[in-house]
Structures are given as C-alpha cells and as structure tokens.
Amino acid sequence: MATYQNRSIVLSKRPEGEIQDGDLSLVSNDMPALKDGEILIKTLWLSLDPYMRPRMNDMKGYMDPVAIGGVMTGESVGRIVESKSDKYAVGDIVTSYSGWQEYHIVPDSQEMMYKVNADGVPLQAYLGVAGMPGRTGYLGLVNVGKPKAGETVVVAAASGPVGTVVGQTAKQLGCRIVGIAGGEEKCRYVVDELGFDDCINYKEGDLSEQLKAACPDGIDVYFENVGGDVTKAVAPLMNAGSRAPICGYVSAYNATNMGEVETPFHILGALPEPPEHRFFLVTEWQDQHAEITQLLADRVKSGELKYQETIAEGLENAVEAFKGMLKGKNFGKQLVHIAD
C-alpha cells in the first residue's frame, strides 16, 4: 500500500478585514491507511469561491465557520487512487468538498459527492459553469428571479461563473440582459462573446447614470452577487413587481465587522416599493443536482454556454489567487490546478 504525503492549507487565525500573511498556512502530513468503506481521492482541480471568505470569520451563518487549524473549505474534482468501497473504483472521477488539500479520505456514504462522467467536457467546468456556481446562477435566476421574455435582467460580476450562466440563460429566455463588471476587457467579453445586450464598467464613470442609460425601461430582475455601491445604483431603477435573487455580496466579505455592513436587504428593503427579494442557497434544489449539472454540461459541450477561467498552478499559490479573486483580479472562474 503506497504512502501518500498530503499538503493542505489550514486556517491559522481569523482574518481582520483583508487576509494577511499568517492567516492561512500550508502544512504537510502522511495520509493514514484506509478503513473499510473509505476511499482516497487525489485532488486534480480546486475551486475558489467568494463564500469561503465569510467561513473564515467566527460568526454563525448558513454554514459553520472553518475551525482554527481546520482545512479551508472548498469543492474539488478528484480521482480515486485507493478504494475500500463497493461503490467507487480506483480511477473514478468525483466532485466533493475536499477542502484546500491534495488528498483526502472520505467514507463512501459522504454527502455532496458525485461521480463525474465528463464525456468531452473539461473536468474543471464541473467546478464552474457546469458545477455549483453554474447551478447557483441557473436555479436562482429561474426559481427566484422568474424572468419573463421582454423583461430587463441585470447581473453584477457578469464575467464570473455565476453571472455568465445568469446572463446566457436570461438571453435564452428572451430577456434584455445587462451586466456589470470591472474593466473594459471583461465588459467587452460579456457583450461580444456571451451575447449580453450591454455591460457597464463599474470602475469608470457614474454607475447610476450608466445604468439608467442601459435600462431605459427599468429593471425587472436584479441578480445580486456584489452588494454595496452596485446595489445602491440598481435599487432606484427596480420596477414595480421586480424580483431580486440574493446570491451573495462579495463587496462586504473583507469587512472587519459584518454586523455594520449595509447589506442588499437594507438597501432593497428601504425602497418605497421593495422588490420581491430573498437570499437563496443552491442546496434548496439539491434534488435537481444531476439534472441541472447535465443540462449545463451539455450546453458547454455544444459550445452554447461560454465561459472564462483564471488558473493558478499548485496549492502553494491558492492563497494569493483567493485574495486576488476577492478584489476582482480574476477573469471568469478562479481555479487552482493541483494535478493532471
């Protein structure tokens, strides 16, 4: 039986505001022998997502915080290299919540672990537009946003994996889709490649005025990813009967005191006629996991669903990639390539 040396990134101390040196540490350990019913998974690709930042804080949310000394939470695509399970064989490819590490051992009954039959779709897409972010965008838009043909849909972080799926899905449903992104290159890509009707560069000019010009008939659906100044610019343009699925608000994730943050709930709720708005989790539709994953993967394979990726090489570069992603330095889905 081979001995596997694992490297992982653990939470050494809770960040105060932006992540600093020493908050996260790279550690090594030998993997123990498998017990009956367990599998050993080698990580190939690691997903970096904004939700991981609030998990570093010592505060209750919709998920428990990462423990001090605990491996940073995260989903990965991996290959099974050893198995003492009847359900999984060596060579099987799976998505699982491994955390930021090169190997992990799980029981074959592990929840939220799924076999992947890539069939011509790049494996890392199952962490992006055909994975949790893609399902989040698709299901949040369709089930909470409820867009109708002819309506105007606005999505912030438009070039990221969630915004990418929201925009392309809304377009298929016959909507006018306006994106908000940081930088000319991202905006050009969103319009020219993804087929959005317009995209506003929030780093340039008056965001409120640009939005008014791009949405002459107001906004019917606002898919919330960012919060802060973006939400403040969107809010006055929300039409009567509009809807706002709230996926997250990354602009506040480095705040030193989340209790003092003016959230999208405050901003939208203060309107004279607040839109129908609520926070949602993709796990609300966990029973549709296989169906929606397949739908999105088929669209990737056909070329119908386009996307961008930013790839960091090696676990040792995950922390800097994560810090950059929280500041919008990535273009598209932020991934870490661990192994082939």
Q: How confident is the model at residue 255 (pLDDT cuts 50, 70, 90)?
A: low
CA distances from 25 to 28, 37, 41, 316, 326 (A): 10, 31, 22, 10, 18
Domain ranges of the chain: 5-128+307-337, 132-283
Residue 248 has pLDDT above 90, yes or no: no
Instruction: Please state at what angle helix 289-302 crosses helix 132-140, rounded to 10 degrees.
Output: 100
Q: How confident is the model at residue 253 (pLDDT cuts 50, 70, 90)?
A: low
Contact at 8 Å (CB) between 332 and 308?
yes
Dist CA 19 CA 191 (whole Å): 33
Domain 132-283 has CATH 3.40.50.300: no
Beta strands in the chain (DSSP E): 5-11, 24-30, 38-47, 76-83, 93-96, 103-107, 114-115, 152-156, 176-181, 198-201, 219-223, 238-246, 276-279, 309-313, 333-337
Residue 291 has pLDDT above 80, yes or no: yes
Q: Sign (positive/negative) of CA torsion 190, 161, 335, 58? A: positive
Q: How confident is the model at residue 238 (pLDDT cuts 50, 70, 90)?
A: very high
Q: How confident is the model at residue 205 (pLDDT cuts 50, 70, 90)?
A: confident
Dist CA 119 CA 297 (whole Å): 9
Residue 61 has pLDDT above 70, yes or no: no
Using alpha carbons, select from 157, 180, 205 the residue that is nearest to residue 331.
157
For residue 232, give the amino acid letter: K
**Could you tell me how many residues make up the chain?**
340
Dist CA 210 CA 325 (whole Å): 25
Chain centroid offset of residue 60 CA: 20
Dist CA 31 CA 5 (whole Å): 6
The CA-to-CA distance between both ends of the chain, in Å, stands at 22
Q: How confident is the model at residue 264 (pLDDT cuts 50, 70, 90)?
A: confident
The verdict on pTM exceeding 0.95 is no
Q: How confident is the model at residue 304 (pLDDT cuts 50, 70, 90)?
A: very high
The token pair that represents 266 in the structure block:
């405050």
Chain centroid offset of residue 71 CA: 19
Which CATH topology does 5-128+307-337 take? Quinone Oxidoreductase; Chain A, domain 1 (3.90.180)
Q: Quick one: pLDDT at residue 59?
A: 75
For the chain, give the mean pLDDT: 92
For residue 323, give the amino acid letter: K
